[in-house]
Amino acid sequence: MSPILTRPVREQLEHDRVIRLLQVRYKRKTDVVINPGNEQNQSITVGDLVVYPDLLLFTEGGRRLLGTVEVETGESVNSIEARAEWGVYSKLKVPLHLYVPPTCVDTARRICDEYQILVAELWTYTTAFDQVRFTMVHRSPDAPIAKVTVKLPAPRTAKAPKTPASRKAKKTPKASRPAKAKAKPVARKAPKPKAKKGGKKRR
């Protein structure tokens, strides 16, 4: 939960909208879990603290953390927010990306310098009508770099090429069985002629 319990409604809507746009942006290369508004979809533990960054970046198909992303509005760029969230996330061995309105860049830099908070990338976002533009204003060379391991598929074993002999063997038809000899017709005896009735007896 953010130390700022309530944001103005307009800023909260803008905050959550930027989070969802960044989800699409980061999703091209990583798996992303977001915690907009009061949602608590995914947490991380830093020491004894259980925290919910705005965006969590993971390896594709894995659960190894690659980085955290925090979106701030004009009201939330202050030392209380910085120490409670930016300072905690920067203790992880993964990069922290911070997004603030353009008018808050100097304040964010001053706070990070004052409390020695290491931010890997500092970005601004500008909302104009239905579009949001993101601009990187600072990248720290001392920030941790998350290594991405890519699992390669196991190589397929090559099948032995078919030789002409094996092809002919497959095409050779099975030996045909000899045809059964036809049975010879059996001659039937001619029937004996029947004696005629009413013939004369011999004397």
Residues of the chain with pLDDT under 50: 1, 147-154, 199-203
Q: Supply the pLDDT for residue 60.
A: 80
Residue 163 is predicted with a pLDDT of 59
Q: What is the per-residue pLDDT for 148?
A: 40
Is 2 inside any structural domain? no
* Concatenated DSSP letters of the chain: --S-----HHHHHHHHHHHHHHHHHHTTTSEEEE--TT--S--EEETTEEE--SEEEE-TTS--EEEEEEE--TTT-SHHHIIIIIHHHTTSSS-EEEEE-GGGHHHHHHHHHHTT---SEEEEEEEETTEEEEEEEEE-TTS--PPPP-PPPPPPPPPPPPPHHHHHHHHSPPPPPPPPPPPPPPPPPPPPPPPPTTPPPP-
Q: Is 160 part of any domain?
A: no
Which range of residues forms the domain containing residue 133?
A: 9-139
Query: What is residue 6's predicted lDDT score, i.e. its pLDDT?
Result: 75
Residue 185 lies in a domain: no
Q: Tokens at residue 71, please?
A: 């979106």
Does residue 111 sit within a domain? Answer: yes
| pLDDT value of position 128 | 86
Q: Name residue 31's beta-bridge partners.
A: 58
Q: Answer yes or no: is 90 within a domain.
A: yes
CATH number at residue 121: 3.40.1350
- Structural domain count, the chain: 1
What residue type is 124 in one-letter code? T
| 151 occurs within a structural domain | no
- pLDDT value at position 141? 87
Tokens of 58: 């993971």
**59-109 tens-digit pLDDT:** 987 679 999 999 999 999 999 999 999 999 999 999 999 999 999 999 999
Task: Assess if residue 130 is contained within a domain.
Answer: yes
Q: Is 200 part of any domain? A: no
